[in-house]
Each structure stands twice: as C-alpha cells, then as structure tokens.
Chains A and B, each alone.
Chain A
Amino acid sequence: MRRSLFRRNKKKETNNNEENFSIKIFKNLDKNMGNLKKMLDEPNDLVIRKFTIHDSKHKCGVAYIDGMVDSDLVHNNIMKSVQLITGRKPLPEAESKLFEEIYQEILSVTSIKKGTTLDDISNAILGGSTIFYINGIDNVIIMDTQGGETRSIEEPITETVIRGSREGFVENLRTNIVLIRRYIRDPNLRFKTYQVGRRSKKSLVVSYMDGIINPDIVKEVNRRLETIDMDDAPESGYIEEWIEDSFLSPFPQILNTERPDKVAAAILEGKVAILLDGTPFVLIAPATLGNTLQSPEDYYERWTIGTLLRALRYLAAFIAVFLPALYIALVSFHQGMIPSDLAFSIAATREGVPFPAFVEAMLMAITMELLREAGTRLPTPIGQTIGIVGGLVIGEAAVSAGLVSPAMVIVIALNAIASFSLPSYSVAIAFRILLFGLMVAAAIFGLYGIILCYIMLNIHLVNLKSFGVPYTTPFAPNFLGDWNDLVLRAPVTAIKRRPTYMQTHDEKSVNKGD
C-alpha cells in the first residue's frame, strides 16, 4: 500500500530532463546527419559514411555506432550491396522509387524496417542497428545489425552440477532466448518483450508456455512489469525487487538462475521466466519455499539419490537456521538437557573462555560472514589465501588463545557448511539473516525463544505469497499429490502431473496416452 503511493508520487514528477525526440526526419541528408551528430554530441565512435549511389546523382549515407554492430554484416550486406548491385542494373530516377527499390531488393539484411522520427533513429542506433539515409526522402531504413563482443556460453559458476547440461546463460538477451528455445521446441512457447529503464531502454522478455500456464499469472506479471519506472535496471535483481510481493521479507519470492535447463523445466511447470538484457541471471516466478531447496540435478540422477539429497537439504536448512541458537540455548539455559558425559566435555572445553556462549557465537558467526565476504570479493588466488588464513584463525588461533571453545568452532563451521550447501544462494542468505535473530532469541529466552521464533517464522511464511501462490504450498494449503516432488523426488514415471498448486491448464505431464 505504502509502496504504491510512493510509486504514484514518483510518476507525477515531470521529466524535465528528458527531451522529446519525436522530431520528423528532414529530406536533406546533411541536415539529418547533422541532427544525429548534434543529438549524440559527436561521439567518436559514431561512424557516418556518406557516399553516392553508382550513378553519382543520389547522395546517401550510413550511420552506426562502432563496436555495437557486426561490421562484417555492414560491409558485405549493406555497403557492398548498395555500391555494387546498383551498378548492375538501371535504377529509377525518382527518390521515392529508389528508396523502395533499395528497401525491397538491394539491402541484403533480414531484419529491416523504416523509421520516420529522430526518436526511432536514436533508439535503433543506440541498440546496435545501422541507419541508411537517402537524400531527398524523409524516411530512413533501420537495419538490425546487432553484433560486437559478447561473452561466450560457459558453464555457470554459481550453479555447477556433476551431471547435467554445462550451458549457462550469458549477458546477451538473444543468446539467452535461443538457449531456452533449444530446450523447448513448442510453438506455444511465448516471448513477450518489454522495455524497461527510462534512460537505459533495456529489453526485458517474459517467457512462458501458452496452454500450460494459468493466465492469471501472466496477467499479474504483466501488470507488475508495467509499473516499473526507473532509469536503469542494471541487473534482474532490480526487477525482482520491484515486482516481488513483499519487500520486507528476507525470503526470495522469485528465484534466479543461470541454468537454461532449470528455466525450461520451470516454464513447463507453468511458471514464468523473466529475462533481462545484460545479465545472465534469469528470474523464475512464482516460487515456493519447496522450490528454493531444489536443484536441477535432483532430476538427473536416479530418484533415490535425488530424494536423499533433498532430505539432506532440509536438514541443512534446519542446521543453517537453528544449530547455533540451539547450542546457545542448551549451554546457557538448559544444561540439564545435555547428557551428562557430553555436558562435562563441553564444560571442559569452555573452561577459560571469558565470554558467555552468545557472545562467543556472535564473534564466530560474524567472523564467518567476514571471511565469506572477503572470499567472494577477492580474485581466486588471494581468495584461497583468505581461506587458509581464516581457517587458521578460526580453527587454531582463536581456540588456543582461549577466546572461543572448540565446540563452538564445530557448531559455527557446521552451520556455515550447511548454509552453503543450499542450492539457491538467495535463500541461503535469507537463512543466514534469520540465524542472527534466532541467536538473540536463544540468548534471551532459551528454547522457549527458539520455538517462538520458529512460530513467528511460520506465521510470516504462511502469509507470504508469490504472484498469488502461497509461499508454503504444497505444505499448506495442502496438496498431498504434489508431495511426490517436494522432499521426495518420486521416479519420473510417477510424477504424472504438473504441480497442482500452479493450477495449470494442461495438468498431465507424462503418460498422456495419446
């Protein structure tokens, strides 16, 4: 509510800085060229080539931005065509007819259209198109010649698998769409394009499968995407934050992935994928809590190991959130609950430690976060050094200096390992945030505090929705039928239906019998 008000205010602001370029194109070639230069303030990567068509009567010109176009395409299919083919056959005298002839027959570029305003030109040329002018005509030809350097397809670094496709998304939107199309060759696969960013004017593509997806989700996604109003969306994280249901929640309500196979699987489950130009991270919506703990590899190995891995992940999630808090509660409140042998050995290791368990845990957990952060930011060779230094500091020095107890080191290390074993980094961060809150609760109220926090966490989760889908489904609202692909990963022959909670059009996914 507050947020929508905020947005409305924002829209009311007049865009004084934004100039309107819907100026018509002139007939005079030089004037047009001059306008283009003036608009872009003569950057040195703007290439303008004026030349005359074979019979040297008609002046024309080509403009593009160097580096953004495929220069082979410009040389071979535009310049050569216009300059060579025009010499082989007679050309019409009238400029308009010549323009049509060039548009229809001579230019050998597949994606081609006409433009009439300066706005068209600026959008196209900044997006990597080439503009073709003819003197005496107030139209231009816009040719899609996007090219230039891009990263090649590599294995995604954040989501490696042992078995499964090695392809990952790249920064180029076209390539990303192709990667999805290679997985799903269905004519009903839809790619709807939006433009986001008032300044950056980036393309954003929403992909889904018509006939499977519930139309309500598409409508809702469209509605939310249309409210986007910002200068630039550098990464899909901006889009995610703008369109998610609750920005107060630590939990990601939209998944992100670098893996085309994961996106394709989500689309086939009746979900929406949102691709943004310039980032390899594709958004998948709606998401549920169960989805965040799944990895594509669960489906590629045999189902028994898939199921066990998932169960392991639920255990990991529990350890990632609760273990240090439980340790604090047991050590500082409920020593009686620890079996006496264990209690003695813990007490022995805590001998000489000057801090209460909570301070000790906080020290270690914050050190752990610092190490993680330092490790991520640094280049790999130095990152390893950090790992070694950190390991020594945590494991050896802190203990032998008597600052922390060895038991606490084990607890925090186990907790860190558990949180990094989760397949989704964004949910792992959410758990790490919760961890600190739980430690505080455990320090104040012990087990009672932990259970109250657990209840509060559940209250938050059941009230959370992702694009109309309750976050805790299929646990609650309960769909027992969907449990075959939740903690359990049933054999593929047994997962006959798409998830019921997605309310898909086409319910069966295998064994259709036709």
Chain B
Amino acid sequence: MKSFKYADEKISEKEILIAIPSMVIGVGILTLPKDLASAVMAADGWIPLLAGGFIAVLMTWMVAKFASGFANQTFLTYASSIATKPVAIVLTFVFAVLFLLITAFQVRQIAAISKQYIFDRTPLEVIALTFLLVVVYAVSGSRAGLFRLNMMFFPIILFIAFSVFIFNLGWSDLGNLLPVFRTGFTDYLKGLNTGITSYLGFSILWFYIALVDQPKKAPKMAALGMCIPVGLYIMLYILCIGVFGREVTANLLYPTVELAKVVDIPGGFFERFESVFFVIWIMAIFNTASMALDVAVLAINSIFERLKKLKILLILSPVVYAVSMFPQDKVDVDSFGSMMSHSMFFYTIFVIVLLIVLAKMRGVKRDE
C-alpha cells in the first residue's frame, strides 16, 4: 500500500535542488557587483565568479557526498562517531553560531535596504523586528514547510531576476564590457575572495542531508542546484557592468537593485521598478534567513535533545535580533558581513578536511 510519503517530514531530491539556490541567493547578490567591480577590470569579474562557483559546486558536492554516506544520521551523530562526542558538540555549536550570524546579517541588511528603497521614516529596528517575527513564524512551523516555501517562492524570484535581465538588455552598452583580460593576478585573487564568499550557504547540507528521502541522489541534485546561483550571479554581474560601466558599479551602494531602477515597464502601471524588485527579493532573503535560523535551531536541538524546538527558537530569536542591531553603521555591517562569510567559508573547509581525514584515519565506515 502506498502511503502519503511525500507529505511527511522528509525532503525530496527536488526540494534539495531548490533549497540550495534559495539559501545562497539572498542579500549577497545585491552588493556583489560593487565589491567585484572595485577589485577587477571591466567585465573580468565573471572569471572569479565562475572559478568561485566551480569551487562552491565542488564543495557542495563533497559535503553532500560525505553527509549522504551517513543516511538518516544527524550531523552530531556522525561527527561524534568520526571525531569524538565533545569535538562533535563543539563543531555543531560553532555551526549554530555561524548560522545565527547569517540570519542576523540578513535581518540587518533587509532593514537597511528597505529603509533605502521603500521607506525612509520608519525606524530600522521596527523593520528588522517585523521581518524577524515572520522568519520566526516560518521556523516554528514544520521543517518540510520551509522547503515547500522555497518551492513556492523560488520561481517568482527567478522570474523577477530574469525580467530585470531582459528589460535591461536594451540599456546595456557592449563597450562597457571592454577591455577584457586586463586584470592582474593579485586582483583576480581579490575578486575570487569576493566571488567565493558570495556562494556560501551550502553548509546547510551538513544538517539537511539527514532528512533527505533518497540520500544517494542528493549530491548530484545539490551540485546542480548550486549551478543556478552561479549562472544567475554571472548574468547579473555582466549586466551591471554593461549598463553602468565599471566605475559607476563600484560606487553604487546596491548595484543590482539600481539595475531594476533602469527598467521601464511597458504599459506605465509602475514606475520605480526597483521597489517592486526589492519587495519580491525580500522573499529570497526570507528563504535564506529562515533556513539559516532553522539550521541553527536544528543544530542546537541535536545538542540539547530534551529542549523543545519552539523553546530553542524563542531563546535564539532575541539573540539574533540583538546581534543584528549591534553594528552601528554601514561600515560596521559590511565588516560584520565579510567576517561572517569568511569564517563560514574557512570553517566549512576545516570541517570537511577534518572529518574526511579523521574518518580515513579511524576507519569509520560510510554506508554506500
């Protein structure tokens, strides 16, 4: 007899395919062209983006492959069978903290950008709080619900991104893309630094693979999902350079949102398309923030098994709010963001290497 397998708390491989880009695409892309353009010449930014993307896809695949070897085990379980339990608890805890930081960063950024593009009189704190409350509401629901939300929002996000792309094609000037390959090697490295940190988020796989229905298919799907943001980022970056030129892009606060400003919707129903674009983009940021918070809750829950999910959530969310309000100004927020993404990146590499090496050394078997 068939039962309603698709309706339970398991994640299908299709949902993993969508979850990865939903997690990766957030506030990062809104500022990415600026950071890249200030590092490299003209449209050369696509090289570090592609290279960074390649590394990200590879790492995604590795994490998924490694984690899927331990079917239906939480990160804490398999990490403690590879390293020891105390080490595993520390590893999990650091992940939880990092994911909390991601949530806090998204909350802060959304408040800042909303203030810039939607309303200027409403205080930052109120905007951030309302957003965080919605995120908390989402996380308090079922975990499968979050993946369904990704499924609902992702097509809309892609649609708005593509419509910005298509409406802007006419405005872009191929001359802006030239000259090519004039960037020096050190500048490429600087660009790569920006490129790779913009793809973070695949670390959710450490925790979510345990919930996947068919773990064997997960690595391929996750890697495939990672390709979506790579394509999207390169597309939007080249478009930014094409429309604004390098100098302007490097000096715009949120170049991707500014792209939408150029758009002129035929029919004359809407002016200032960038507000519409950003409002839709809130869904993307929401997906990132809710999944990050959920993973943090999941990680803490695996350490303190007796605590209820809702309790952990209610303890963590004020912390997230406090952290998100901590940076004083734009500079603080930026350095907070880069600190967070760098530590996430290096920590993920560290955990992959540590676990793979230890598993080899101690001969922990993965079920193939």
Interface set of A (CB-CB < 8 Å, partner B): 214-216, 333-334, 336-342, 445-452, 455-456, 458-459, 462-463, 465, 468-470, 472-473, 475-478, 501, 503, 505
Determine the residue in chain A with the shortest Cβ distance to B274. Answer: A337
Name the A residues within 8 Å of B2 (CB-CB).
Answer: 214, 503, 505
Determine the residue in chain B with the shortest Cβ distance to A337. Answer: B272
- Known contacts A339-B270, A451-B279, A463 near B142 by CB under 8 Å: yes
- Known contacts A446-B118, A459-B145, A334 near B138 by CB under 8 Å: no
Partner of A477 from B12, B114, B131, B269 at Cβ < 8 Å: B12
Name the A residues within 8 Å of B12 (CB-CB).
Answer: 477
Q: A459-B137, A477-B7 are known; give 20 further A-B pairs, CB within 8 A.
A: A336-B271, A336-B272, A338-B271, A341-B268, A447-B275, A448-B118, A448-B119, A455-B134, A458-B149, A458-B153, A459-B141, A459-B149, A462-B148, A463-B141, A463-B142, A468-B4, A469-B7, A470-B7, A473-B6, A475-B151
Minimum distance in angstroms from B56 CB to a CB of chain A: 25
Does B283 contact A451, Cβ atoms closer than 8 Å? yes
Partner of B272 from A334, A452, A470, A475 at Cβ < 8 Å: A334
Partner of A452 from B119, B134, B145, B151 at Cβ < 8 Å: B134
Partner of B145 from A446, A451, A462, A478 at Cβ < 8 Å: A462
Q: How far is the CA of A341 from the CA of B267 in the complex (A)?
A: 12
Q: How far is the CA of A341 from the CA of B127 in the complex (A)?
A: 31
- Known contacts A337-B270, A339-B269, A456-B137, A451 near B282 by CB under 8 Å: yes
Does B4 contact A469, Cβ atoms closer than 8 Å? yes
Candidate in A333, A448, A462, A505 with the most chain B CB atoms within 10 angstroms = A448
Interface size class, chain B: 35 or more
Candidate in B1, B4, B7 with the most chain A CB atoms within 10 angstroms = B4
Partner of B134 from A342, A456, A478 at Cβ < 8 Å: A456
Q: 24 pairs across A/B with beta carbons < 8 Å?
A: A214-B2, A216-B3, A333-B119, A334-B275, A336-B272, A445-B122, A445-B127, A452-B134, A455-B134, A455-B283, A456-B137, A458-B149, A458-B152, A459-B141, A459-B149, A462-B141, A462-B145, A463-B145, A465-B7, A470-B6, A475-B151, A476-B147, A476-B148, A477-B15
Does A503 contact B4, Cβ atoms closer than 8 Å? yes
Determine the residue in chain A with the shortest Cβ distance to B5. Answer: A503
Minimum distance in angstroms from A237 CB to a CB of chain B: 26
Q: How far is the CA of A324 from the CA of B169 in the complex (A)?
A: 34
- Known contacts A459-B138, A465-B7, A337 near B153 by CB under 8 Å: no
Q: How far is the CA of A187 from the CA of B363 in the complex (A)?
A: 61
Q: How far is the CA of A452 from the CA of B119 in the complex (A)?
A: 15
Q: How far is the CA of A342 from the CA of B7 in the complex (A)?
A: 47
Determine the residue in chain A with the shortest Cβ distance to B287. Answer: A455
Q: How far is the CA of A333 from the CA of B151 in the complex (A)?
A: 31
Does B131 contact A452, Cβ atoms closer than 8 Å? yes
- Known contacts A339-B268, A469-B7, A503-B4, A476 near B286 by CB under 8 Å: no
Does A214 contact B4, Cβ atoms closer than 8 Å? yes
Name the B residues within 8 Å of A458 (CB-CB).
Answer: 149, 152-153
Q: How far is the CA of A449 from the CA of B129 in the complex (A)?
A: 12
Q: Which positions 135-173 of chain B face chain A at CB distance < 8 Å?
A: 137-138, 141-142, 145, 147-153
Does B149 contact A462, Cβ atoms closer than 8 Å? yes
Does B152 contact A339, Cβ atoms closer than 8 Å? no
Q: How far is the CA of A458 from the CA of B275 in the complex (A)?
A: 21
Name the A residues within 8 Å of B138 (CB-CB).
Answer: 455, 459
Minimum distance in angstroms from B298 CB to a CB of chain A: 17
Name the B residues within 8 Å of A475 (CB-CB).
Answer: 151-152
Does B130 contact A452, Cβ atoms closer than 8 Å? yes
SS of A interface (majority) = helix
Does A476 contact B149, Cβ atoms closer than 8 Å? yes
Does A477 contact B270, Cβ atoms closer than 8 Å? no
Minimum distance in angstroms from A505 CB to a CB of chain B: 8
Determine the residue in chain B with the shortest Cβ distance to A445. Answer: B130
B280 within 8 A of A: yes
Name the A residues within 8 Å of B271 (CB-CB).
Answer: 336-340
Minimum distance in angstroms from A293 CB to a CB of chain B: 16
Q: How far is the CA of A208 from the CA of B148 in the complex (A)?
A: 29
Top 7 nearest A-B pairs (CB, nearest first) are A476-B151, A476-B148, A462-B148, A463-B141, A462-B145, A463-B145, A339-B268
Candidate in B6, B269, B276, B283 with the most chain A CB atoms within 10 angstroms = B6
Q: Which positions 89-137 of chain B face chain A at CB distance < 8 Å?
A: 114, 118-119, 122, 127, 130-131, 134, 137
- Known contacts A339-B271, A458-B153, A451 near B148 by CB under 8 Å: no
- Known contacts A334-B272, A456-B137, A458-B152, A477 near B6 by CB under 8 Å: yes
Minimum distance in angstroms from B122 CB to a CB of chain A: 7
B182 within 8 A of A: no
Does A462 contact B4, Cβ atoms closer than 8 Å? no
Determine the residue in chain A with the shortest Cβ distance to B126. Answer: A445
Q: How far is the CA of A451 from the CA of B282 in the complex (A)?
A: 8
Name the A residues within 8 Å of B269 (CB-CB).
Answer: 339
Determine the residue in chain B with the shortest Cβ distance to A504. Answer: B2
B85 within 8 A of A: no
Minimum distance in angstroms from B270 CB to a CB of chain A: 6
Does B268 contact A342, Cβ atoms closer than 8 Å? yes
Name the B residues within 8 Å of A450 (CB-CB).
Answer: 279
Q: How far is the CA of A121 from the CA of B130 in the complex (A)?
A: 64
Minimum distance in angstroms from B9 CB to a CB of chain A: 12
Determine the residue in chain B with the shortest Cβ distance to A501. Answer: B6
Does A451 contact B275, Cβ atoms closer than 8 Å? no
Does A215 contact B1, Cβ atoms closer than 8 Å? yes
Minimum distance in angstroms from B142 CB to a CB of chain A: 6
Q: How far is the CA of A473 from the CA of B12 in the complex (A)?
A: 14
B14 within 8 A of A: yes
Does A478 contact B141, Cβ atoms closer than 8 Å? no
Does B152 contact A462, Cβ atoms closer than 8 Å? yes
Determine the residue in chain B with the shortest Cβ distance to A336. Answer: B272
Contact bitstring B253-279, A, C-beta under 8 A = 1, else 0: 000000000000000111110011001
Q: How far is the CA of A452 from the CA of B128 in the complex (A)?
A: 12
Does A478 contact B14, Cβ atoms closer than 8 Å? yes
Minimum distance in angstroms from B82 CB to a CB of chain A: 33
Name the A residues within 8 Å of B151 (CB-CB).
Answer: 475-478
Minimum distance in angstroms from A172 CB to a CB of chain B: 35
Partner of A447 from B3, B4, B279 at Cβ < 8 Å: B279
Name the A residues within 8 Å of B282 (CB-CB).
Answer: 448, 451-452, 455
Q: How far is the CA of A215 from the CA of B130 in the complex (A)?
A: 43
Candidate in A342, A458, A462 with the most chain B CB atoms within 10 angstroms = A462
Does B279 contact A448, Cβ atoms closer than 8 Å? yes
Minimum distance in angstroms from A191 CB to a CB of chain B: 23
Minimum distance in angstroms from A349 CB to a CB of chain B: 17
Q: How far is the CA of A341 from the CA of B269 in the complex (A)?
A: 10
Does A451 contact B7, Cβ atoms closer than 8 Å? no
Q: How far is the CA of A42 from the CA of B331 in the complex (A)?
A: 90
Determine the residue in chain B with the shortest Cβ distance to A220. Answer: B4
Minimum distance in angstroms from A289 CB to a CB of chain B: 11
Name the B residues within 8 Å of A214 (CB-CB).
Answer: 1-4
Name the B residues within 8 Å of A473 (CB-CB).
Answer: 6-7
Q: How far is the CA of A458 from the CA of B148 in the complex (A)?
A: 9
Name the B residues within 8 Å of A451 (CB-CB).
Answer: 279-280, 282-283
Minimum distance in angstroms from A238 CB to a CB of chain B: 27
Minimum distance in angstroms from A224 CB to a CB of chain B: 16
Name the A residues within 8 Å of B276 (CB-CB).
Answer: 337, 447
Does A477 contact B148, Cβ atoms closer than 8 Å? yes
